[in-house]
């Protein structure tokens, strides 16, 4: 067992005295408090003070197993939780703890399988989607990848559709003009670069009421990030309009086009983590615009689709747009977690993958 050099735990008598009237629920809450503060040895001491309570209650068994795992008794802890999962198949907490233990033990395939089962049964189980994304898409998160893209391309002009707190607009430090479009004003997460401003409108109104020259002057858009409304017809329309504003050598990046599960990829929002059906926009680009160069970086939580070799004069996607929208509207996401669509040309989330995406 791992030593805590700063370890001090009360005696069993002191714990029994202090927690004499605690219900099982209170003991569970107390041991979770200990774990959240890193005091796994305190949980072990509480178990020694109330051994009977810990053999009778599944939640206490779990917190004890987590404390043992953190303390280094990994094999015993995993065996306890595996037995709990087998005895109590409906216990989502036991499943989540086992999945987490597998992930922390480097058992990737088993962790992916367990987290996939967990999100299938309860997509909003705290942290499950994020951990599954990190397992399936190893490497830096999307904002770090965007930072690296800005550093590689150093765009002079930047357009972002869907800004929220401005964390990604703030990455446009090289841009002389950087414009973010979002109908909902939100407090800024960080200061924006000097050349950046936010226009509070929907992207549709933005493109209807403005000309590129009024916003960017003579310079076409060099880099754009589409991260607005999570419906595919809006994302596709955003792409069409943005491409008209770009130079042929420009780059458009789409967010949220690589879902991890069908339930997070629906038009109607049913989950806390939700990417909507924007994936259909990327699939449409790949199918209908073979002239574009599309590469998809598998960065958590939902990938970045990098589109190059733009054609600002193209009308291909406008033709038959309405028919396409009604044809695709009801389609569900067809792939299992961890299966990637070949048509999006997935590249790894590494410096080499980034170089390939920007080639
Ligand atoms: C996921 S957030 C953007 C996050 C930001 N790009 C980042 O990575 O930090 C999506 C944003 O799109 C905005 N949005 C919704 N509908 C929109 C529309 N029609 N046009 C532009 N933005 C829209 C929402 O208000 C929300 O702030």
Residue 6 has pLDDT above 80, yes or no: no
Portion of the chain with pLDDT greater than 70, in percent:
98
How confident is residue 1, by pLDDT bands cut at 50, 70 and 90? Answer: low
Residue 5 has pLDDT above 70, yes or no: no
Can you tell me the distance from the alpha carbon of 163 to that of 201, in angstroms, rounded to the nearest whole number?
Answer: 11
What does the block give as tokens for 203?
């992207």
* Mean pLDDT in residue range 281-295: 97
Mutating to test ligand 1, I would choose from 144, 145, 161, 164 the residue with most ligand atoms within 8 A of its C-beta, which is: 164
More confident residue, 158 or 3: 158
Tell me, in angstroms, the distance from the centre of ligand 1 to residue 129's CA: 20
- How many CA atoms lie less than 13 Å away from 70 in the CB half-sphere? 19
Tell me, in angstroms, the distance from the centre of ligand 1 to residue 171's CA: 16
Can you tell me the distance from the alpha carbon of 53 to that of 279, in angstroms, rounded to the nearest whole number?
Answer: 49
pLDDT in tens, 196-231: 999 999 999 999 999 999 999 999 999 999 999 999
**Residues contacting ligand 1 via CB (< 6 Å):** 161-164, 167-168, 181-184, 202-203, 227-229, 234
Residue nearest (by alpha carbon) to ligand 1 atom 15:
229
Give yes or no for a contact between 262 and 235, defined as CB atoms under 8 angstroms apart: no
CB atoms within 10 A of CB 272: 11
Tell me, in angstroms, the distance from the centre of ligand 1 to residue 340's CA: 25
Domains 12-136 and 142-357 share a fold: no
Give yes or no for a contact between 225 and 146, defined as CB atoms under 8 angstroms apart: yes
Domain boundaries, the chain: 12-136, 142-357
Position 32 scores a pLDDT of: 97
Tell me, in angstroms, the distance from the centre of ligand 1 to residue 238's CA: 12
Residue nearest (by alpha carbon) to ligand 1 atom 5:
163
CATH superfamily, region 12-136 = Tetratricopeptide repeat domain (1.25.40.10)
Look at residue 254 and give its three-state secondary structure.
strand
Position 84 scores a pLDDT of: 97
What letter does residue 165 receive in the DSSP assignment? T
The mean pLDDT value of the chain amounts to 95
Can you tell me the distance from the alpha carbon of 250 to that of 231, in angstroms, rounded to the nearest whole number?
Answer: 24
Position 7 scores a pLDDT of: 76
pLDDT in tens, 76-89: 999 999 999 999 99
Residue 123 has pLDDT above 70, yes or no: yes
Position 4 scores a pLDDT of: 55
Q: Is the peptide bond before 330 cis (omega within 30 degrees of 0)?
A: no
Phi and psi at 305, nearest 5°, equal -95, 120
CB atoms within 10 A of CB 339: 9
- Apex 340 CA angle, 270 and 298, nearest 5: 85
List, in sequence order, the alpha helices (H) in the chain.
12-18, 24-36, 40-49, 51-56, 58-70, 74-87, 92-104, 108-121, 128-136, 142-153, 203-209, 212-216, 232-245, 279-288, 321-328, 351-357
Can you tell me the distance from the alpha carbon of 81 to that of 97, in angstroms, rounded to the nearest whole number?
Answer: 7
- What's the predicted TM-score (pTM) here? 0.92
How confident is residue 337, by pLDDT bands cut at 50, 70 and 90? Answer: confident
User: Tokens 């607009």 map to which residue?
Assistant: 169
Q: May I ask the CATH architecture of the domain 142-357? A: 3-Layer(aba) Sandwich (3.40)
pLDDT in tens, 14-63: 999 999 999 999 999 999 999 999 999 999 999 999 999 999 999 999 99
Residue 136 has pLDDT above 90, yes or no: yes
Tell me, in angstroms, the distance from the centre of ligand 1 to residue 302's CA: 15
């Amino acid at each position: 067992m791992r030593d805590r050099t700063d370890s001090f735990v009360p005696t069993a008598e002191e714990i029994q005295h202090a927690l004499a009237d605690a219900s099982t629920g209170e003991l569970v809450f107390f041991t979770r408090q200990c774990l959240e503060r890193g005091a796994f040895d305190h949980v072990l001491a509480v178990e020694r003070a109330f051994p009977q309570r810990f053999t009778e209650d599944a939640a206490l068994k779990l917190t004890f197993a987590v404390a043992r795992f953190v303390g280094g008794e990994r094999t015993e802890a995993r065996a306890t939780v595996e037995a709990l999962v087998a005895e109590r198949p409906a216990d989502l907490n036991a499943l989540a703890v086992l999945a987490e233990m597998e992930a922390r033990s480097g058992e990737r395939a088993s962790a992916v399988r367990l987290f996939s089962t967990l999100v299938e049964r309860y997509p909003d189980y705290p942290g499950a989607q994020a951990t599954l994304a990190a397992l399936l898409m190893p490497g830096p998160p999307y904002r770090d990848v965007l930072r690296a893209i800005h550093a590689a391309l150093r765009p002079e002009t930047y357009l972002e559709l869907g800004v929220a707190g401005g964390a990604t607009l703030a990455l446009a430090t090289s841009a002389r003009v950087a414009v973010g479009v979002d109908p909902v004003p939100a407090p800024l997460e960080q200061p924006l670069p000097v050349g950046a401003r936010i226009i509070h409108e929907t992207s549709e109104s933005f493109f209807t009421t403005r000309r590129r020259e009024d916003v960017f002057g003579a310079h076409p858009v060099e880099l754009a990030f589409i991260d607005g409304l999570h419906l595919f017809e809006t994302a596709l329309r955003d792409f069409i309009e943005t491409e008209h504003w770009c130079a042929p050598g420009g780059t458009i990046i789409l967010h949220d086009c690589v879902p991890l599960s069908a339930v997070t990829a629906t038009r109607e929002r049913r989950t806390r983590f939700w990417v909507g059906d924007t994936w259909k926009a990327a699939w449409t680009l790949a199918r209908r615009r073979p002239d574009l160069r599309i590469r998809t970086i598998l960065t958590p939580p939902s990938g970045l689709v990098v589109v190059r070799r733009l054609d600002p004069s193209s009308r291909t996607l406008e033709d038959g747009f309405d028919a396409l929208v009604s044809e695709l509207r009801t389609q569900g996401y067809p792939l299992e977690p961890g299966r990637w669509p070949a048509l999006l040309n997935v590249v790894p989330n590494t410096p080499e993958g980034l170089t390939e995406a920007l080639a």
